[in-house]
Structure 1
Amino acid sequence: MSSLNSLSELTRQLLSRAEKVESLTPGSKGQVLFQLEGQSAELNKARRELLEITQEIQVRARGPADLLEQYQIQYNAFSCLRWLLHFEIFTHVPTDYKPMSYTSLASLASVPLSRLQSVARMAMTAGLFTEPDPAHIAHNPLSVRFATDELLRDWAIFVSKYGEPATQAMTEATEKWDDSKALNETAWNVFGGTTKPFFEYLKDVPDMVDLFSRYMQSQGLSEGMRLEYVLDGFDWAKLDANAHIIDSRTPPQAVEALSPTLSELPDTITSRIQFKAHSFFDPQPSHQPGPSSPDVYLLRKILHDWPAARAREILCQLATALRDGKKSSARIVIMDIILPLPGTIERTQEAMLRVRDLSMAQAFNSQERKLSDWEELFESAEPKLQLMSWKQPRGSAMAVMEVGLGEY
């Protein structure tokens, strides 16, 4: 979004984009415009452009007092979201959009009537629920998704119960540990009152490993993080029909979680898949050099979890495996964010990338990386690696990088 556009020009663009979104949206013009399963790419693009212009207008028109008021609105709205989730308000309200009395809902949820009304009415300012009359509440198309989509609730529960409070500890973590890269000197360590690294801390909190796993799965609901983008980012068709692909995942519990999914696939596919527990900090299992050695080592959303020194350890093990496999076409395929230069992409898109960058810092003392950071990291591996090519599939928040041995 160009900063040269005047507010009046932005307003004209806003009207134009709004008309386009309405023309592409099936059903009535009053239909909610959030992302729906199967929604067209053209409509999603128009929605993003509309949201970007809306955000730009707000930023331009806001003064310092407006900004602080907006922050107060945001953190109170977020606390209301946690309250609604904790007391299962979304699932108590009828999903057929029929009104329910506040009195009945308060009794069903075992919450004070006046507090329920205050919280629900604050949530309504963010677009959740509707109030047909002062005595009743009902779902709208936005809030009903939280009632009917368990993954969406998992996402909301994790970030409201754990993610947001942990961000508030970032100041104390910096005060205490400065620019530490230690895995147990993070904002999450302050928040959790623990000396353990993030993944170890998860195991100490009842049900948190399962919730975190479901939260990670829920990230697929975000358009920019969809798994299918990995298909568009690398030329998989160039591989032989019997290609050997190793997909690295973390934490180790992922193996247990993934194994049952094989029962959902046809035998022609399951016969070619194996799940094995392995630390990517250890040497890769040995393979016969030559044609039978692995063709691709896939790392999707892995390296951003680790500070540079630890990420380098992972890459060194893979670089060694490439060298020992003696297959010049073998590659490491990395799907992760490549941070843009500030102000070079849409404000809302950049904001989400900056959120993920800070999330890595808060949990792991790591970061999302710029292109130059990635190139430096690859070159620092032993044997040396180099970035052969990279591609950012349209609509994806992440890029797909093809990495090979430096000498090839």
Structure 2
Amino acid sequence: MSSLEKLTTLSNEISKNTKILTDYLSSKGLEAPSFDVDGLDEFPISPEDEEPFKARLALIAATKELYDISLGPKESLRYLAWDAANNLSLQAVYEFKIAENVPLSGSISYQELAEKVNVPLLKLRPLIRHAMTNHIFQEPVKGYVGHTRTSRLLVEDKPLHAWVAFYCEDLWVSMTNVVKSMKKWPGSQEPNQTGVNLAFGTDLPWFDFLQSDEALAKRYNLAMQSVGGGEGFAMHHVVEGYPWAGLPDGATIVDMGGNQGYISFAIAEKFTKLNFIVQDTAGMRTTETIGAVPENLKDRVTLTTHDFFTPQTVVADVYFFRWIFHGFSEKYCIEILQALAPALKKGARIVINDGTLPEPNTVTYLEEKTMRTMDIMMQVTVNAREREVDDWKELFQAADQRYKFLKAWKPEKSRMWLIEAEWDPEAGAQVE
């Protein structure tokens, strides 16, 4: 396709998918999102609305590509290099509580705002006007600042505010130290040899460092609320996406690193012939969590203490890990799998619910960008990574030849995958 044809094709695709979206919204009496201060935050379209949902994703990809082509490769690269300024102005908005000091209705002069946030006018105004290029604040009258929907969300949406704070305040400096950490510790798989460790001068692994700072831990936990329960991460994808009904009556599932047991509760509610043992470290088994199993599940779900790096003692049919492995490098993932071996019986299944990297150019732009970004962020914080399907196969084989990789699949509309392996003691038994 010639470059001129590409421009026309993208333009036509944008027009076609915009019409699908607007026709759908009009038929439902709905509005589109808007940066107007009282506008909608998100498109009111769920994955169940298949045609408009796919049209929106296609529109995002096409508009991004057309934007980049319109800039051209040379200018695109220049813009990419100085995009850090976006983080800078957003960080200033957070740090100086600018959004909180702009009235929710009406506007405030730059001078009055500068006095309220204690930042000199000539330092403050450039930062705010830069933020405006990202639809954060507006200038309804020259010299005055008012909210857009985006800036107002910083005041009203606490998890989203924490997300912004976490990435602007806590991880930004860590990201700038990743390349330095790669040079200092070439090929390291250790969780305390990262950009975080250089940025904050700590020897602690990321999650230990989090817990050492109460304010940081609170900010992190609140930030994760803004995505953890989002579409594509909901528990029902696991409940519906794995063939739990095919397990024998009375089968035991060990929920490894299962926190407070919520996923086990959800599966046990639907599949009443299955039993669950939720294991996590002692820190997760406080007086507040012990006995927190719903009354109707207490005969089938138990909360227990176990560190998955230590040898497993519970013989079970399934060992289930949800969002565990992407937080560890190969070295430690192998240790986790090897620690299971003492308890594994023939045919025992290991089921992992985690992110999986797509093959390049096989998913929507937004999904690929999200997963590639997540992959990098795991390196920033814990020296780990996201994995492709072949990586999962290799991980099981590296841990023990007696692991037989079965398959990996993504339940419909889920953002997370299910990865399954089986224990076969007769296949390539290793000498202990």
Q: TM-score range by the shorter chain?
A: 0.7 to 0.9
Residue 279 of structure 1 and its aligned partner are, at CA, apart by 1.2
DSSP-derived class of the 1:397 partner: coil
Q: Distance in 2 between matches of 1:64 and 1:356?
A: 25
The two structures have a TM-score, normalised by structure 2, of: 0.79
Q: Is the 8 A contact 1:220 1:227 kept in 2?
A: no
Please give the per-residue CA displacement for 1:182-230, whole angstroms capped at 9, x wherever unaligned.
2222222222222332223334445223322333333325544444432
1:72-87 map, 5 Å: 74-87=83-96
Percent identity, aligned pairs only, is: 29
1:8-157 map, 5 Å: 8-25=8-25, 27-28=30-31, 31=34, 35=42, 39=46, 41-42=48-49, 43-71=52-80, 74-95=83-104, 97-157=105-165
Measured at CA, do residues 271 and 310 of structure 1 come closer, stay the same or move farther in structure 2, by a change above 3 Å?
A: same
Residue 358 of structure 1 and its aligned partner are, at CA, apart by 1.5
Is 1:158 equivalent to 2:166 in the alignment? Answer: yes
Q: Is the 8 A contact 2:290 2:303 kept in 1?
A: no
Q: Which moved more, 1:48-57 or 1:99-108?
A: 99-108
One of 371, 374, 378 as aligned partner of 1:353:
371
Please give the per-residue CA displacement for 1:100-138, whole angstroms capped at 9, x wherever unaligned.
444444344333334333222211211222222124333
Residue 93 of structure 1 and its aligned partner are, at CA, apart by 3.3
Is 1:304 equivalent to 2:326 in the alignment? Answer: yes
The two structures have a TM-score, normalised by structure 1, of: 0.83
Q: Distance in 2 between matches of 1:316 and 1:209?
A: 30
Q: Is the 8 A contact 1:224 1:397 kept in 2?
A: yes
Please give the per-residue CA displacement for 1:323-382, whole angstroms capped at 9, x wherever unaligned.
2xx6x4x42221122222333333332222111112222222222112111101112333
1:405 is matched with 423
Is 1:280 equivalent to 2:308 in the alignment? Answer: yes
1:387 is matched with 405
Q: Is the 8 A contact 2:389 2:408 kept in 1?
A: no
Q: Is the 8 A contact 2:159 2:224 kept in 1?
A: no
Q: Distance in 1 between matches of 2:144 and 2:65?
A: 36
Residue 241 of structure 1 and its aligned partner are, at CA, apart by 7.4
1:248 is matched with 256
Measured at CA, do residues 37 and 136 of structure 1 come closer, stay the same or move farther in structure 2, by a change above 3 Å?
A: same
Measured at CA, do residues 6 and 275 of structure 1 come closer, stay the same or move farther in structure 2, by a change above 3 Å?
A: same
Q: Which moved more, 1:310-319 or 1:54-63?
A: 54-63
DSSP-derived class of the 1:131 partner: coil
Is 1:216 equivalent to 2:224 in the alignment? Answer: yes
Q: Which has the higher contact order (CA 8 A, sep 6+)?
A: 1
Q: Is the 8 A contact 1:203 1:209 kept in 2?
A: yes
| Unmatched 5+ stretches in structure 1 | 288-292
Q: Which moved more, 1:216-225 or 1:51-60?
A: 216-225
Q: Distance in 2 between matches of 1:59 and 1:355?
A: 19
Residue 19 of structure 1 and its aligned partner are, at CA, apart by 2.0
2:337 is matched with 315
DSSP-derived class of the 1:88 partner: coil
Please give the per-residue CA displacement for 1:382-408, whole angstroms capped at 9, x wherever unaligned.
372223232212343321112221359
DSSP-derived class of the 1:343 partner: coil
Measured at CA, do residues 159 and 34 of structure 1 come closer, stay the same or move farther in structure 2, by a change above 3 Å?
A: same
Residue type matched to 1:27 in 2? L
DSSP-derived class of the 1:190 partner: helix
DSSP-derived class of the 1:345 partner: coil
Residue type matched to 1:17 in 2? N
